[in-house]
């Protein structure tokens, strides 16, 4: 999973704003030349991900701006396969396997075109992965001496910075929130979700008490999301900077769940309900869970969320029932005006009071 995400083709309670999540518009981003597609990230009006070309079967790093017709192929000319893991609205990062070395990933950076590709693989690294980008800083991991080290770059391979915590066998960064990085490190015999602030020594272990393993996949607004393993099952997880802040987001209807993205106090991922993955959104608690699965697809997952100020966007994929293949999806919904939210909240409180009488 860690090696192939970008390249893989596989105080008022929540009822106070019931219509805020009532209707989502789902846009199919799948371009006509794709066999499969996934949108991993949405930010700044862009969606980043990967398609598999229907003719060459190559995985190709991809960029969209809201429609299938907007698709841009980021696949570099020197690459055998490529994939984009995320975007900050300006730069995109992911991995490339070069034709000259098709078995090893190279962390990669783009600025909206295939020709802008920059190889971030540092000197001495066997392979590397880029999973996060923000304000000209990129984060991921690099394999050094057979082990993966959490890593930072600033636009060049030579700028590579080793962030592997002392005592960690392997470490990975998957997301960034300003100067904070989120991921996990293999410590004391298990994977522990953790947070960095730009250096190896800054690592803070947020592994929940009693968990077998934990993983950090998303960060935003001082919140971190991912999943933990309890009793052999994946539990969607939320933190606010410490192990003690852990919140299990897994709804009661789900056997397992994972959270991948967070923005503006909302978290997205999926919950497995009745054996089917359902794209999901939360607002900080398991009870706030809202199922945004589109019944036109066999299963759905949400990976990233972003709010433009007027519209909330969620990137992910659904499995097409006609082809049984993944297709990139973009959910969107207007952000309710503050007055509308207040009115909905007051209406709900009045309803509660009336029911109590």
At 300-344, the pLDDT tens digits run 999 999 999 999 999 999 999 999 999 999 999 999 876 544 444
DSSP string covering 37-90, please? EEEEEEETTEEEEEEEETTT--EEEEEESSSGGG-EE---TTEEEEEEEEE-SS
The token duo for 181 is: 């990085």
Q: Which helix (H) or strand (E) holds 134?
A: strand 128-134
Percent of all residues in the chain with a pLDDT value above 70, rounded to a whole number: 88
Report DSSP letters for 305-320, one per residue: EEE-SSEEEEEEEEE-
H or E, element range at 216: strand 213-220
Look at residue 1 in the predicted model and tell me its pLDDT. Answer: 41
Ramachandran quadrant class, 265 (left: phi over 0; alpha: psi -120 to 50; beta: rest): left
In tens, the pLDDT along 74-104 reads 999 999 999 999 999 999 999 999 999 999 9
Cα gap 230→232, rounded to integer Å: 5
Buried b (16+ CB within 10 A) or exposed e, 25-34: ebbbbbbeeb
> How does pLDDT run across 20-49, given as a tens digit for each residue?
345 899 999 999 999 999 999 999 999 999
What Rg, from alpha-carbon coordinates, does the chain have?
A: 20
pLDDT for res 337: 73
Residues of the chain above pLDDT 90, percent: 86
pLDDT reported for residue 343: 45
Taking the CA atoms of residue 83, residue 319, residue 2 and residue 161 in that order, the dihedral angle to the nearest 10 degrees is: 40
């Amino acid at each position: 999973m860690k090696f192939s995400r970008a390249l893989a083709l596989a105080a008022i309670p929540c009822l106070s704003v019931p219509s805020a999540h009532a209707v989502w518009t789902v846009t199919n981003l799948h371009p006509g030349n794709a066999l499969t597609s996934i949108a991993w990230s949405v930010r700044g009006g862009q969606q980043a991900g990967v398609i598999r070309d229907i003719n060459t079967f190559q995985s190709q790093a991809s960029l969209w701006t809201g429609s299938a017709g907007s698709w841009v192929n980021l696949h570099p000319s020197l690459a055998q396969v490529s994939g984009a893991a995320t975007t900050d609205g300006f730069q995109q990062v992911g991995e490339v396997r070069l034709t000259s070395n098709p078995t090893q990933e190279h962390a990669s950076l783009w600025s909206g075109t295939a020709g802008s590709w920059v190889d971030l693989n540092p000197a001495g690294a066997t392979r590397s992965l880029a999973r996060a980008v923000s304000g000209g800083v990129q984060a991921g991991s690099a394999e050094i001496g057979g082990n993966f080290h959490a890593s930072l770059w600033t636009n060049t391979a030579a700028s590579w910075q080793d962030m592997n915590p002392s005592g960690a066998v392997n470490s990975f960064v998957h997301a960034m929130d300003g100067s904070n990085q989120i991921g996990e490190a293999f410590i004391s015999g298990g994977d522990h979700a953790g947070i960095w602030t730009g250096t190896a020594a800054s690592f803070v272990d947020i592994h929940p008490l009693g968990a077998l393993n934990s993983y950090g996949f998303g960060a935003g607004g001082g919140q971190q999301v991912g999943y933990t393993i309890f009793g052999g099952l994946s539990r969607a997880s939320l933190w606010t900077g410490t192990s003690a802040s852990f919140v299990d987001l897994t709804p009661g209807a789900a056997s397992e769940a994972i959270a991948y993205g967070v923005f503006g106090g909302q978290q997205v991922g999926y919950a497995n309900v009745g054996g089917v993955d359902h794209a999901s959104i939360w607002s900080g608690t398991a009870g706030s869970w809202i199922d945004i699965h589109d019944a036109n697809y066999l299963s759905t997952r949400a990976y990233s969320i972003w709010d433009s100020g007027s519209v909330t966007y969620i990137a992910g994929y659904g499995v097409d029932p006609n082809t049984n293949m993944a297709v990139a999806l973009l959910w969107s919904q207007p952000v309710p005006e503050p007055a509308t939210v207040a009115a909905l909240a007051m209406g709900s409180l009045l309803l509660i009071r009336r029911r109590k009488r």
